[in-house]
């Protein structure tokens, strides 16, 4: 119900979600292959079929993506975004947007100014409370508040409309068969009950008593598994973020810039009790019930308990009516107006919405202010600047250490405090946290070729570090006496798997022969169990867990039939279908339109993605897609 009640957020997010996510985000699936050419000129970000994607277009798109990634906190460092591949994703998205335009040109598809105007005027954020367009001045104000020019915004709206048309033409021939519709209905609506025998790997392990010679033979057969990996030991210079905090200053301008980066909209956290009105003839009766519960709530009754007992919103009722935090523009107007007018602890009168009657209790109402957040802003900026300064100092330390090789001597001549630490021996796959290092530091140590060679400055949990390789212990063959415990565990695991497969096969064959899973299970010393009725997507039993193969088997078999062995990861099961609910033709007819639309959507998305990917591949092979690789590695400021 909460998802239904929530409307789209205000334009600050709506323009991103409706336009950019439609035009770019969806197309991240259509990343062209690595056979695209590279270009060295920095005058443009990419070229697609002689059309240029400018540096300005790339910078604007990248900036919007970064803003979206950074919502709720400080701006993410460019190094992190590059490591995540975000610049590449943005550029690939812009390339694919151009490919969609090329497809549109091939089909002769156009988007008229009238269609663009109609699309804009139909957006909820461009309408007043009466559903009318807010007018050209209001339109300009909304765009200006979100740093959009009219030209830029209408260009994105045009592309969104073009994308719809192109997608519609490409996927128009797809259809869903009657068999597919009936199968999907069965999966969602029919229930089955099965008898099953669960073969537990751990129970089989208890039966296995390996001899020393068997374990030794297993070790010899799998020696590579027990090979002792290469180990390394390193010394490293550490520049702590904390020691540089006193050197960091935070200006009023820094604070304002950080504040402007963060979303700081008015937020309410509330709970509600919903009384749905599905039958208008019973509205008076439902309202009377709601008023009785409202009276109890205002007299001090436990609101959460009232919600659990009375709310028709099953999703929130289990949580005592809790809806969690939301901002303006996320709920239907009547609900939102009431919630934002209440103070923490206050309970509303009955609120009528399209869903029925609500009783709302506000638990938190926050209007963020710059001054109230000054301390957290200062802390965030201090931490970020100290980390940036630690990186700068660590790079200076790395340069000094490269020259002198003697870490102690290098540290003394730096003019700032640097710690010198040594690690114990570690492998490349050791957990960074267990040995007090970072994954970056481990990786850097294993990149060094010679003892006493010095690496570059890399991130460390406490700041930045510069490693020097002290010792290398080469990989060597495993030792049975040292690995014996692990060898035994592996042997039991392997033997139990083989036993389960053999026993499950034997049980299945006997049950089919006798026509009774219960008799076959009893003769083999197993216990047969029976599930509660379950649907195709439900969990049949706790020990079975979520297992698509078990469920598929349960719904494929005719009642009375016994299955072949079903794999449950390391365990297994044999089942017999006891009963299944009949196919409800009347209900199928009711659900058929919605089912068809849902299945069609599931077909259309991958089909369209594949089509665009094939066009991209065709252009790439012809050398008509060229990327400027250098733009993917530079800070945003360079654009």
Contacting residues for 216 by C-beta, under 8 A, at least 6 apart: 480
SS3 40: coil
- For residue 294, give the CATH number of its domain: 3.10.50.40
Instruction: Decide if 148 is inside a domain.
Output: yes
In a domain, 508, yes or no: yes
Q: What are phi and psi of 64, to 5 degrees?
A: -70, -40
Q: Please check whether residue 48 lies inside any domain of the structure.
A: yes
* CB 128 within 8 Å of CB 182: no
How far is CA 492 from each of CA 208, 243, 508, 536, rounded to the nearest angstrom?
7, 52, 24, 34
Is the Cβ–Cβ distance between 445 and 468 less than 8 Å? Answer: no
Residue 10 CA, distance from chain mean position:
23
Indicate the residue among 438, 473, 508 that finishes a domain: 473
Burial call 476-492: b when 16+ CB within 10 Å, e when fewer: eebebeebeeebbebbb
Cα four-point dihedral sign 487, 489, 492, 496 = negative
Cβ-contact 605, 163 below 8 angstroms: no
Going by C-alpha positions, the residue among 250, 273, 475, 443 that lies closest to residue 361 is 273
Which pLDDT score is estimated for 38? Answer: 45
- Residue 368: Cβ within 10 Å count: 14
Are residues 290 and 434 located together in one domain of the fold? no
Same domain, 510 and 418: no
Supply 454's token pair.
């010095």
| Whether residue 106 sits in one domain with residue 36 | yes
Q: Would 135 be classed as within a structural domain?
A: yes
Inside any domain, residue 338: yes
Joined together, the tokens standing for residue 139 give 């339109």
Q: Whose CA is closest to 503, among 574, 552, 415?
A: 574
Helix, coil or strand: residue 499: helix
- Strand 44-48 relative to strand 51-54, pairing: antiparallel
Cβ neighbours, 10 Å, residue 134: 16
Provide the pLDDT for residue 408: 79
Total domain count for the chain?
4
Which tokens go with 239?
């520049």
Same domain, 89 and 133: yes
In a domain, 409, yes or no: yes
Q: Are residues 469 and 553 in the same domain?
A: no
- For the record, the structure tokens of 196 come out as 């099953």
- Beta-carbon contacts of 298 under 8 Å, excluding residues fewer than 6 positions away, are 347
**In contact, 20 and 26? CB cutoff 8 Å:** no
The answer to whether residues 408 and 282 belong to one domain is no
How far apart are the C-alpha atoms of 36 and 377, rounded to whole Å?
43
| Spans of the chain below 70 pLDDT | 1-43, 68-79, 263, 632-639
pLDDT value of residue 6: 45
Q: Which of 354, 285, 272, 352 is nearest to 312 (CA)?
A: 272
Tell me how far apart the alpha carbons of residues 505 and 501 are, in angstroms, rounded to a whole number: 6
Q: How far apart are CA 540 and CA 537, in angstroms?
A: 9
Measured at the CA of 62, the angle between CA 604 and CA 88, to 5 degrees, comes to 65
- Which residue's entry shows tokens 């078999």? 557
Residues 525 and 441 in one domain: no
Asked whether 445 and 455 are in contact (CB, 8 A), the reply is yes
Angle value at C-alpha 221, between 219 and 222, nearest 5 degrees: 65
**Residue where a domain terminates, one of 337, 366, 395:** 366
- How far are the Cα atoms of 18, 76, 152, 629 from residue 66, in angstroms, in the given order? 17, 7, 18, 19
Q: Element (H or E) spanning 496, and its range?
A: helix 480-514
Q: Domain ends where: 336, 366, 396? A: 366
As a whole number of angstroms, the distance between CA 396 and CA 405 comes to 14
* Contact yes or no for 310/275 (Cβ under 8 A): yes
Q: 157 and 22 in one domain?
A: yes
- The C-alpha atoms of residue 82 and residue 72 are separated, in whole angstroms, by 20
Read off the CATH number of the domain in which 97 is found. Answer: 1.10.4030.10
List beta partners, residue 199.
572
Report the C-alpha gap between 345 and 363 in whole angstroms.
Answer: 5
CB-based burial, 412-439: b 16+ in 10 Å, e otherwise: eebeeebeeeebeebeeebebeeeebbe
Contact partners, residue 502, CB within 8 Å, separation at least 6: none
Same domain, 39 and 123: yes
- Measured distance CA(293)–CA(3) in Å, rounded: 24
Chain CA centroid to CA 522, Å: 46
Dump the DSSP string for 121-167: HTSGGGB-TTS-B-HHHHHHHHHHHTT--HHHHHHHHHHHHHHHHHH
Which residue in 577, 432, 562, 463 sits closest to 505, CA to CA? 562
The answer to whether residue 614 sits within a structural domain is yes
- Chain centroid offset of residue 86 CA: 15
Residue positions counted in the chain: 639
Please tell me whether residue 529 adopts helix, strand or coil conformation: strand
Q: How many CB atoms lie within 10 A of CB 495?
A: 17
Same-domain check for residues 454 and 502: no
- One domain for residues 570 and 621: no
Domain of 461, CATH number, reads 3.10.50
CA distance 219 to 481: 10
| Domain contains 116 | yes
238 three-state secondary structure: strand
**Are residue 12 and residue 160 in the same domain, yes or no?**
yes
- 3-state class (DSSP) for residue 520: helix
The per-residue pLDDT for range 352-398, each reduced to its tens digit, is 998 899 999 999 998 888 888 888 889 889 988 999 999 999 999 89
Domain of residue 166, residue span: 2-173+604-638
């Amino acid at each position: 119900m909460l998802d239904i009640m929530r409307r789209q957020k205000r334009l600050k997010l709506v323009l991103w979600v409706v336009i950019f996510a439609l035009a770019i985000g969806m197309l991240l699936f259509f990343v062209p292959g690595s056979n695209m050419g590279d270009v060295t000129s920095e005058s443009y970000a990419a070229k697609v079929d002689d059309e240029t994607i400018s540096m300005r277009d790339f910078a604007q798109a990248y900036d919007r993506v970064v803003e979206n990634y950074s919502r709720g906190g400080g701006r993410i460092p460019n190094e992190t975004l590059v490591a995540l591949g975000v610049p590449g994703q943005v550029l690939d998205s812009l390339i694919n947007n151009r490919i969609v335009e090329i497809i549109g040109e091939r089909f002769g598809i156009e988007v008229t100014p009238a269609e663009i105007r109609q699309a804009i005027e139909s957006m909820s954020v461009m309408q007043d409370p009466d559903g009318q367009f807010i007018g050209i001045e209001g339109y300009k104000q909304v765009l200006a508040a979100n740093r959009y020019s009219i030209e830029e915004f209408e260009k994105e709206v045009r592309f969104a409309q073009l994308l719809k048309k192109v997608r519609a033409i490409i996927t128009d021939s797809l259809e869903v068969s009657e068999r597919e519709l009936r199968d999907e209905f069965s999966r969602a609506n029919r229930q089955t009950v099965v008898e099953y025998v669960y073969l537990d790997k751990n129970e089989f392990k208890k039966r296995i008593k390996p001899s020393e010679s068997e374990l030794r033979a297993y070790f010899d057969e799998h020696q590579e598994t027990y090979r002792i990996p290469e180990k390394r030991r390193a010394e490293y210079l550490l520049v702590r973020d904390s020691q540089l905090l006193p050197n960091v200053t935070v200006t009023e301008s820094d604070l304002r810039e950080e504040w402007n980066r963060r979303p700081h909209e008015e937020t309410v956290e509330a709970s509600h009790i919903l009384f749905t009105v599905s039958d208008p003839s019973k509205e008076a009766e439902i309202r009377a019930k709601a008023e009785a519960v409202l009276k109890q709530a205002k007299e001090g009754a436990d609101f959460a308990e009232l919600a659990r007992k009375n709310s028709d919103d099953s999703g929130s009722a289990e949580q005592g009516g809790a809806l969690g935090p939301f901002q303006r523009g996320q709920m239907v107007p009547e609900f939102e107006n009431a919630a934002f007018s209440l103070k923490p602890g206050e309970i509303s009168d009955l609120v009528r919405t399209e869903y029925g009657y609500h009783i709302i209790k506000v638990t938190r109402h926050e209007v963020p202010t710059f001054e109230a957040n000054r301390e957290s802003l200062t802390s965030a900026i201090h931490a970020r600047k100290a980390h940036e300064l630690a990186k700068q100092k660590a790079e200076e330390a790395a340069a000094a250490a490269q020259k002198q090789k003697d870490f102690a001597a290098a540290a003394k001549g730096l003019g700032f405090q640097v710690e010198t630490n040594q690690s114990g021996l570690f492998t490349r796959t050791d957990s960074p946290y267990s040995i007090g290092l970072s994954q970056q530091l481990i990786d850097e140590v294993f990149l060094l070729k010679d003892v006493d060679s010095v690496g570059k400055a890399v991130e460390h949990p406490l700041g930045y570090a510069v490693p020097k390789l002290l010792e290398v212990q080469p990989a060597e063959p495993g030792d049975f006496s040292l690995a014996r415990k692990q060898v035994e565990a592996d042997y039991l695991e392997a033997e139990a798997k083989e036993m389960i497969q053999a026993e499950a096969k034997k049980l299945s064959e006997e049950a089919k022969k006798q026509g009774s899973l219960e008799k076959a299970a009893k003769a083999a010393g197993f216990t047969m169990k029976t599930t509660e009725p379950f649907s195709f997507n439900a969990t049949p039993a706790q020990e079975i867990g979520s297992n698509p193969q078990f469920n598929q088997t349960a719904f494929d078999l005719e009642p009375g039939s016994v299955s072949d062995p079903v794999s449950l990861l390391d365990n297994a099961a044999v089942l017999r279908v006891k009963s299944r609910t009949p196919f409800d033709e009347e209900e199928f007819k009711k659900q058929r339109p919605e089912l068809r639309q849902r299945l069609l959507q599931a077909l259309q998305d991958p089909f369209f993605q594949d089509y665009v990917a094939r066009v991209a591949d065709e252009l790439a092979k012809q050398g008509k897609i060229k990327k400027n690789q250098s733009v993917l590695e530079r800070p945003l400021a360079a654009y």
